[in-house]
Structure 1
Amino acid sequence: MTQDAVIERARALAVPGQRHTLGIAGAPGAGKSTLAEAIVAALAPAAVLVPMDGYHLANDELAALGRGERKGAIDTFDDAGYAALLRRLVDQRRDETVYAPRFDRSLEESLAGSIRITAEVPLVVTEGNYLLSDVGWWPVARACLDECWYLDTDIDLRHAWLVARHEAYGKDPQSARHWALVRDEANARLIQSSAHRADLRVRLPLDPGR
């Protein structure tokens, strides 16, 4: 599949005067944010990106719950809050501005009120690991999406991207590899088990199509 074809499929959802939502799911390091950002850039100003990662639980709360060493696992997100945000965006009034949180990797914390979504934007693109999961509030979130795609990415490439990302945000090479190949990979197996629920499976890297 070419990058142009992917963008054109997303463009079909960006209908002026309407509100549609597109989800992009996949394992850690699959390239979800990169693809989502490319789509939003190509469709601007008709699309806005609202990542699932803004609903990471705060580090203090994860520590209190005994989940600090499993950050990124399915039970380390506020899935109910994320589902509520998507429902609010689907039902957004014309006179309403919605603010969504953004996850700051340099701080490893979410920042409230960081993403501004106005009612005239026809397409909301969201990306995250668990959009196709069938537990907790994730099915409620999925029901708010007009389409949800799953990214299939070569495992070696995905691991290389993950290790590089962990190192870029301060982990030493050994810790980066352990987090990517052990902790992230445990989450990846759960995420991959939900891939059959996707409306479209996209294999990365894409053919540039030019």
Structure 2
Amino acid sequence: MEAQVTRLVDKVWDRFLKTPPNMRVMIAIAGIPGSGKTHLAHAVAVGLNKKAAVSRRDSEDDVGVDRPQDIAIAVPMDGFHLTRAQLAAMPDPETAFARRGAEFTFDGTAFAAVVESLREPIDKDLPGLLLPAFDHAVKDPVADQIVVGHRQRIVLFEGNYVCLNKAPWSKAASPKYMDERWFVDVDFAVARKRLIRRHIAAGIAANDEEAAKRADENDLVNGTEIVENKVSPIDETIVSQEDASWS
């Protein structure tokens, strides 16, 4: 994985250097549940921020200038889950709760609006944009947990549906808003093993049997939709394998 991350960091950094200073580089990173897209997004963001720190140290123009290190930020789609109250208000709440994580259990319109806002030219006089994050303790999204300010000029959006060829996701993923679309490709059997471990660790399932049922009847059903209905073209396909770096 390290070589893949290094190549992607270098690629994004090159694009960043060619981007006007009042604009952001925005990338959508999609994949099925358990593919490792979150891990990849964070690894690339860390690599970019390290590169930026080295660049500042090497620049005589930056001597004495107070600038934060983080120019890149990974923004998870998880904060756009519908709340449990919203699921309960649906015509079939039992199915809505059972299928939580499916496309229809997210607020894609709100996600697209955020993407559209961040594509606008940066105004340093405006406060940062506050985004929600998912709180696993309360099992709901919580508002205003992530800040994307004017210094965060590289935004890596990651999530199941950020490259889905279905409105409103397709609008957010379009070249008008995203500079690149990446897809993390993984064998379903590998993803299934990861999901079983994850569901048990997160307390979603009590044992392997419950976790496997959740993976088979929800996560991997969603995965089929994600794979079969991704936007085109995909600029990067990153293969995730069952090794320690993707755990």
Match of 1:33 in 2: 38
Report deviation, 1:93. 2.1
SS in structure 2 opposite 1:94?
coil
Deviation at 1:179, TM superposition (A): 0.7
Moved more, 161-170 or 187-196: 187-196
Alignment partners' CA distance in 2, 1:29 and 1:13: 28
Higher relative contact order, chain-length normalized (CA < 8 Å, sep 6+): 1
- 8 Å Cα contact 2:29-2:37 kept in structure 1: yes
Aligned equivalents of 2:230 and 2:14: distance in 1?
Answer: 23
Aligned partner (choices 167, 191, 194) of residue 136 of structure 1 = 167
Q: CA deviation at 1:204?
A: 1.1
- Residues 206 and 161 (structure 1), Cα distance of their counterparts in 2 relative to 1, 3 Å cut: closer
Tell me how far apart the structure 2 counterparts of residues 86 and 162 of structure 1 sit (CA, whole Å).
28
Once the 2 structures are TM-superposed, how far is the Cα of residue 134 of structure 1 from its aligned partner?
Answer: 2.2
The residue that corresponds to 1:179 in the other structure is 214
Structure 2 residue aligned with 1:148: 181
Q: Which runs of 5+ in 1 are unaligned?
A: none
TM-score, with normalisation over the residues of structure 2? Answer: 0.79
Equivalent of 1:94 in 78, 100, 124: 124
Matched, 1:204 2:240: yes
Q: CA deviation at 1:196?
A: 5.9
Q: Distance in 1 between matches of 2:42 and 2:116?
A: 22
Once the two structures are overlaid, the 10-residue window that deviates more, 140-149 or 71-80, is 140-149
Q: CA deviation at 1:206?
A: 9.6
Q: Does structure 1 conserve the Cα–Cα contact (< 8 Å) formed by 2:165 and 2:230?
A: no
For 1:52, which of 77, 94, 111 is the aligned residue?
77
Q: Relative to 1, partners in 2 of residues 1:106 and 1:140: Cα closer, same or farther, differing over 3 Å?
A: same
SS in 1 for 2:89: helix
Pairing of 1:75-90 with structure 2 (within 5 A): 75-90=104-119
Counterpart residue identity of residue 83, structure 1: A
Structure showing greater Rg = 2
Q: SS in structure 2 opposite 1:2? A: helix
